[in-house]
């Protein structure tokens, strides 16, 4: 199968190379701000003309937001806007114009209802001090050197890596990978290069193709599996909170920038800000590493992984849990499972958001109308089963996967709900044939499919 994935490596730049990369990132920012000012001026002019009663056919001609149109406008005006444009690669200006074209399209689609998710605001101008330096190359020479410790990029030349690029080099040498683009970006005070590569991945099979595992994520435990395994939540942000607070207080005592008076930050403020940024980057790297290890193990071991469709954005509105939920990374865990299960020949099933996995008894199927979060042990008054609340939810998720038919396209006829549980005590529901408890496996549909969204309905 063909897949597009990224290989990211840390760069070891010399001062001259770092200035060259910053110049390219600055060129991208200049092109972005120029094009945004041009688009905004045309929009403001048309809005003003409408207030004067000018008809639509006599308004100022609108400016196209597509990347080719913005690139043509830039090429016609670049001699006057940026006389130094020959010093940087054309890919630098294309980076800024492409970012603006995508931002304007997202804003327009959001206003027209074509784009789902949170509302997108109108693009804002990029600041030299607040924006993240980044430049993307899509054409030209992009390769890994034979020593696998250096990479070659257009106009930047030969750059040294902090680590070996042997994983990417092996695929390039075997002809199973093709570099599509390369992005140089400064993250947490360290320069990194990310290669977007089209890879020919060999067909793989999970270690236990017929195994079904339910994954219930939480704050106390990062994940509770239907097999009974408890994955501890490392709480990287909470562990680094003392150091982050100390660095934040040290930064507040330095002379920082002031936009109102035009005051520039001091050198001590810049160094303290860099220390705080590196501390936050370390927390992010630790969280990403732990999630990658967990999701890779699940995708390579089990043929079917079942998770919940959590409303993470709504959960973040709780001020007491927002920081802990963000530290756990629920959304990132599901995102990684989505593509890793496809890579390894398995499948990911996403249970409906209103499926009462925690309120349903995994033994008899009775559903409780109310189950407060403070009640961490599930006790069924019908069959008398007593077990951990999260383990009960994980078992219900695993049993939900067996409600599909052998072709993998039939409806989910097992217990569940398509909305919040109705009040009024326990709801008796019948187990459908083929439903398995935790540790058992049922009929698994063919592998190699993408994420399946399952809607369970109550009877």
Active site residues: 216, 308, 390
For 419: left if phi > 0, alpha if psi spans -120 to 50, otherwise beta; the answer is beta
Q: How many CA atoms lie within 13 A of 297 on its CB side?
A: 11
- Alpha-carbon dihedral sign for residues 418, 420, 423, 428: positive
Q: Give the closest residue to 131 by CA, choosing from 39, 255, 261, 26.
A: 26
Answer whether 304's CB lies under 8 Å from 344's CB. Answer: no
In which residue are the tokens 């507040």 written? 252
Torsion of CA 243, 245, 250, 252, to 10 degrees: 160
Q: List, as one string, the DSSP characters of 364-406.
A: T--B-S---TT--EEE-TTT--EEEHHHHHHHHHHHHHTTS-T
In which residue are the tokens 């990403």 written? 288
**Could you give the CA distance from residue 136 to residue 352 in angstroms, rounded to a whole number?**
38
Residue 436 burial (10 A CB sphere; 0-12, 13-18, 19+): middle
| DSSP label at residue 86 | G
- Backbone φ and ψ for 161, nearest 5 degrees, come out as -105, 155
**Could you give the CA distance from residue 58 to residue 46 in angstroms, rounded to a whole number?**
10
Answer whether 226's CB lies under 8 Å from 442's CB. Answer: no
- Backbone φ and ψ for 283, nearest 5 degrees, come out as -60, -45
| DSSP label at residue 128 | T
- Residues 148-163, buried b or exposed e (16+ Cβ, 10 A)? bbbbebbbbeebebee
Torsion of CA 63, 64, 66, 67, to 10 degrees: -40
- SS3 state at 312: helix
**Could you give the CA distance from residue 113 to residue 119 in angstroms, rounded to a whole number?**
10
Strand ranges for 316-382 from DSSP E = 347-351, 377-379
Strand ranges for 78-207 from DSSP E = 134-137, 143-144, 150-153, 157-161, 177-187, 190-200
């Amino acid at each position: 199968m063909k897949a597009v994935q990224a290989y990211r490596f840390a760069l070891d730049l010399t001062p001259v190379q770092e200035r060259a990369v910053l110049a390219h990132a600055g060129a991208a920012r200049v092109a972005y701000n120029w094009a945004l000012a041009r688009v905004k001026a045309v929009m403001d002019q048309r809005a003003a003309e409408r207030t004067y009663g000018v008809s639509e056919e006599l308004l100022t001609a609108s400016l196209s937001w597509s990347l080719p149109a913005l690139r043509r406008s830039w090429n016609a005006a670049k001699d006057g806007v940026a006389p130094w444009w020959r010093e940087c690669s054309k890919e630098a200006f294309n980076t800024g114009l492409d970012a603006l074209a995508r931002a304007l399209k997202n804003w327009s689609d959001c206003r027209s209802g074509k784009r789902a998710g949170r509302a997108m605001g109108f693009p804002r101008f990029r600041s030299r001090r607040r924006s993240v330096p980044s430049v993307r190359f899509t054409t030209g020479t992009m390769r890994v050197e034979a020593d696998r410790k250096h990479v070659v990029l257009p106009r930047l030349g030969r750059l040294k890596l902090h680590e070996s690029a042997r994983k990417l080099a092996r695929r390039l040498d075997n002809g199973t990978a093709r570099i599509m683009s390369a992005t140089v970006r400064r993250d947490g005070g360290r320069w990194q290069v990310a290669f977007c590569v089209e890879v020919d991945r060999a067909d793989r099979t999970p270690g236990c193709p017929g195994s079904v595992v339910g994954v219930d994520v939480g704050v106390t435990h990062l994940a509770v599996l239907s097999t009974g395994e408890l994955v501890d939540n490392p709480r990287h942000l909470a562990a680094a909170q003392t150091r982050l607070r100390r660095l934040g207080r040290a930064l507040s005592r330095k002379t920082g920038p002031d936009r109102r008076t035009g005051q520039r930050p001091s050198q001590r403020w810049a160094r303290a800000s860099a220390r705080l940024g590196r501390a936050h980057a370390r927390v992010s790297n630790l969280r990403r590493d732990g999630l990658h290890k967990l999701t890779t193990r699940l995708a390579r071991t089990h043929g079917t992984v079942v998770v919940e469709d959590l409303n993470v954005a709504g959960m973040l509105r709780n001020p007491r849990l927002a920081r802990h939920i963000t530290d756990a990374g629920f959304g990132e865990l599901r995102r990684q499972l989505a593509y890793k299960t496809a890579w390894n020949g398995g499948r990911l099933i996403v249970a409906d958001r209103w499926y009462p996995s925690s309120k349903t008894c995994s033994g008899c199927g009775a559903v409780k109308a109310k189950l407060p979060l403070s009640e961490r042990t599930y006790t069924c008054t019908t069959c008398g089963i007593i077990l951990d609340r999260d383990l009960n939810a994980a078992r219900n998720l695993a049993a939900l996967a067996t409600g599909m038919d052998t072709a993998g396209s039939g409806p989910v006829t097992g217990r569940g709900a398509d909305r919040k549980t109705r009040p009024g005590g326990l709801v008796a529901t019948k187990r459908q044939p083929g439903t398995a408890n935790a540790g058992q496996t049922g009929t698994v549909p063919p592998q190699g499919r993408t994420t399946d969204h399952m809607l369970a309905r109550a009877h």
